[in-house]
């Protein structure tokens, strides 16, 4: 008999595993197991997933491990279609990825609780990437309805919030983000979902407030957040500061905002040296956001030349590795070149936008002749 304490402590592991292996009852989902209290008996077949889930459970100080902390488990039963779909998604081949995810969901024997939820979530993401917001929302809502305990539920709430944010539905967005950003496990006294998602949702909530033009509230919430995570989660703190800077600029305190932007850039660039690539990408993205923020502020202040230099730092140097910030900077640079009368450069960058980012918000609204 396997228990949630046995694997981690090791005493009864072999006996328990052996006993469980002979058993024939249906397996518990890992998601279920990790919610069980310490010492709960797990009946049924012990799978690799069970083993992983139990070992995580045992390793936790409180005897319970939050769902997000088992995200990296190699589940071991992914079908070829699922693997191909993942690859297609990472290559940006979203249509192909969606059809493969759909096929993967139909594979007999696949764990419904895991594969179906994951595929549904990813289909939502693919649609989101393609700008098919209705379909994206549909998939995300399906996931929330069919698999309320699945791993990607908090992610889905945030993604839903992003769709609403993009459509200017500020209150709805805040509501969606709040599911994650306000969720505290009363037993543990910690966020229900993992810290990253919790704080990310907090930042997003503040972003929606900025969208609502409730700058003071947004700045207040962000100050609180920054204080909370300054040491434990510097990336979130940086994101918070960046948003605060934007809020300050938008609220008319441009100099204060620009100063924060510049501070973030200095700090991030210093941290880049020798950092691993994943961190550098994160930091570069934040830096790009700041440059774009400064560019926007300067453009709004009627300084297209100064703004251009900021946008060019993203366009010329950081490149497409910074995700959405890149097309954003291209748009900014096009506007600056237009304003400066350098039509050729404006056309050149606009052509790139039309070619590679035709559906990016703001591209269609550009007027370059």
Partner 1 sequence: MGPSVRTFPLSLRLLVQGCELRASRFILGLVIAAAAGCQSMAMTSFEWDLKFLEAISRRGYSDLADKFGQQMVAAAKDPIEKGRIALGRAAALLDSAESASGEEQLALVKKAEDALKQAVAASPETAKTVEYAEQAAILKQRQAAILAAGIAKLPDNEKEKVFKEADALFTQAENDFGQLILLRNARIDEIQHILATNNKNPRETQALEQELDDAYFQVTVVHFRIAMALYAHLELYDTRPADAKRKELLKALLDKLEQVSFEGEGTSLESYSYYYLGLVSKKEGDLAKAEESFRRVLATPRELRVPDLIRRAHFDLVDTLTKAGKFEAALNANETLIAYISQLRIGGDDETKARLYKATIYFSAAFKLKTQAGQGPLPEAARKYYDAGMEICRTFINTNPKWAGTAQDIINEWAKKIFPDSDDPTVLMAEGRVLYQDKRYLEAAAAFRKVLANPKGRESARAEAGYYLAMCYYHTERYYDAYVTGDWLGCRFDPRKYDYVEKSQFIAILSLKKQLDKTGDEFDKALYIKTRKQLGEEEFLIIEARDLAEQGQLDKALDVYRRITPKAASVYDSALYEIAQCTDMIADRELKAKHFARGVEKRAEAVKLYDAFLKWSQENPPAADRVRLRQNLECRAVYKLGRLMLDNTAESFYRAEIKRSGSDVRNLSDVIKTAAAAMLQPVHEKVPASAQEALELLDTFAVARVRKFIEMSAGIRTKYPQATDIHPYVLHLRTMALAKLDEPEAAEKELLELKEFKDSSGIADITCRVAMALDTQARKQAEDGNAAEAGKSYAKAVEHFQQVLTLDPNLAFLPEKQRFDMIYYVIMLFSQHGQAVPVDPKLALAKSFLDEFGNEAKREDELDSVRLVQAGYLIVLNKLADAMDIYEKLVKKYDAEYAKMRENDPRAPRPPRHWQAKQGLALARKVSRKYADALKDFMEIRQNVPAGGDTWWDASVDASECMVEMKQYEMLLRMLKTTFLLRPEMGGTDRRNRFVMVLGRIASDAKLPPEQADLARQARELIDQINEYVEKK
- C-beta separation of 168 from 152 below 8 A: no
Rule CB under 8 A: choose which of 280, 339, 347, 363 binds partner 1.
Answer: 280
**DSSP-based three-state secondary structure for 3:** strand
Nearest one of 146, 102, 148 to 122, comparing CA atoms:
102
Query: Whole-number minimum distance, CB 334 to partner 1, in Å?
Result: 14
Query: Whole-number minimum distance, CB 369 to partner 1, in Å?
Result: 22
317 binds partner 1 (CB under 8 A): yes
Query: Whole-number minimum distance, CB 366 to partner 1, in Å?
Result: 20
224 binds partner 1 (CB under 8 A): no
CA distance 57 to 49: 12
305 binds partner 1 (CB under 8 A): yes
Residue (141 or 345) nearer to partner 1, CB: 345
284 binds partner 1 (CB under 8 A): yes
CA distance 296 to 287: 14
Task: Enumerate long-range contacts of 252-257, CB under 8 Å, 24 or more apart.
Answer: 254/297, 254/301, 257/293, 257/297
CA distance 339 to 303: 10
Helix (H) or strand (E) holding 2: strand 2-3
Task: Enumerate long-range contacts of 88-92, CB under 8 Å, 24 or more apart.
Answer: 89/122, 89/125, 89/126, 92/129
Nearest one of 165, 164, 122, 166 to 147, comparing CA atoms:
122
183 binds partner 1 (CB under 8 A): no
CA distance 290 to 298: 12
Residue (131 or 319) nearer to partner 1, CB: 319
CA distance 296 to 307: 7
Rule CB under 8 A: choose which of 10, 131, 319, 361 binds partner 1.
Answer: 319
Residue (70 or 307) nearer to partner 1, CB: 307
Cα of 355 vs its chain's centroid, Å: 26
90 binds partner 1 (CB under 8 A): no
- Which of positions 336-365 make contact with partner 1 (CB under 8 A)? 345
309 binds partner 1 (CB under 8 A): yes
Query: Whole-number minimum distance, CB 210 to partner 1, in Å?
Result: 28
Beta bridge partners of 42: 2
Rule CB under 8 A: choose which of 272, 339, 363, 366 binds partner 1.
Answer: 272
Number of residues that bind partner 1 (CB under 8 A): 22
Query: Whole-number minimum distance, CB 284 to partner 1, in Å?
Result: 7
Residue (18 or 300) nearer to partner 1, CB: 300
313 binds partner 1 (CB under 8 A): yes
Binding mask 232-271 for partner 1 (x = CB under 8 A): -------------------------------------x--
323 binds partner 1 (CB under 8 A): no
DSSP sequence for 197-217: HHHHHHHHHHHHHHHTT-HHH
CA distance 78 to 58: 26
308 binds partner 1 (CB under 8 A): yes
Query: Whole-number minimum distance, CB 330 to partner 1, in Å?
Result: 13
Length of the chain: 369
84 binds partner 1 (CB under 8 A): no
312 binds partner 1 (CB under 8 A): yes
Alpha helices in 91-194, H assignment, sequence order: 94-105, 117-129, 133-146, 153-166, 170-181
Residue (188 or 317) nearer to partner 1, CB: 317
Q: Which residues bind partner 1 (CB under 8 A)?
A: 269, 272-274, 277-278, 280-281, 284, 305-306, 308-309, 312-313, 316-321, 345
């Amino acid at each position: 008999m396997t228990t949630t304490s046995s694997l981690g402590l090791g005493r009864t592991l072999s006996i328990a595993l052996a006993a469980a292996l002979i058993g024939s009852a249906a397996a518990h989902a890992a998601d279920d197991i990790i919610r069980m209290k310490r010492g709960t008996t797990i009946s049924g077949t012990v799978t690799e997933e069970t083993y992983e889930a139990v070992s995580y459970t045992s390793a936790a100080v409180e005897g319970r491990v939050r769902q997000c902390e088992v995200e990296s488990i190699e589940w071991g039963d992914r079908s070829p279609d699922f693997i191909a779909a993942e690859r297609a998604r990472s290559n940006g081949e979203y249509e192909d990825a969606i059809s493969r995810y759909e096929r993967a969901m139909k594979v007999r024997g696949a764990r419904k609780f895991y594969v179906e939820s994951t595929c549904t979530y990813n289909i939502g993401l693919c649609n989101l990437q393609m700008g098919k917001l209705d379909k994206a929302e549909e998939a995300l809502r399906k996931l929330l309805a069919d698999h309320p305990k699945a791993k990607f539920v908090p992610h889905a709430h945030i993604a839903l919030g992003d769709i609403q944010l993009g459509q200017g539905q500020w209150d709805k967005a805040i509501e969606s983000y709040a599911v994650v950003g306000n969720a505290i496990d009363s037993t543990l006294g910690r966020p229900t979902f993992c810290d990253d998602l919790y704080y990310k949702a907090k930042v997003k909530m503040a972003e929606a407030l900025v969208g609502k033009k409730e700058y003071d509230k947004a700045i207040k919430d962000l100050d609180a957040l920054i204080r909370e995570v300054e040491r434990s989660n510097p990336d979130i703190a940086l994101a918070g500061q960046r948003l605060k800077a934007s809020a300050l600029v938008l609220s008319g305190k441009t100099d204060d905002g620009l100063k924060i932007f510049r501070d973030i850039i200095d700090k991030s660039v210093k941290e880049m040296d020798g950092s691993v690539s994943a961190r550098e990408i994160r930091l570069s993205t934040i830096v790009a956001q700041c440059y774009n923020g400064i560019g926007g502020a300067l453009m709004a202040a009627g300084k297209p030349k100064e703004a251009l230099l900021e946008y060019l730092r993203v366009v010329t140097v950081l490149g497409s590795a910074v995700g959405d910030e890149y097309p954003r900077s291209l748009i900014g640079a096009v506007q600056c070149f237009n304003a400066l009368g350098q039509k050729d450069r404006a056309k050149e960058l606009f052509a790139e936008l039309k070619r590679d980012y035709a559906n990016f918000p703001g591209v269609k609204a550009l007027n370059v002749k």
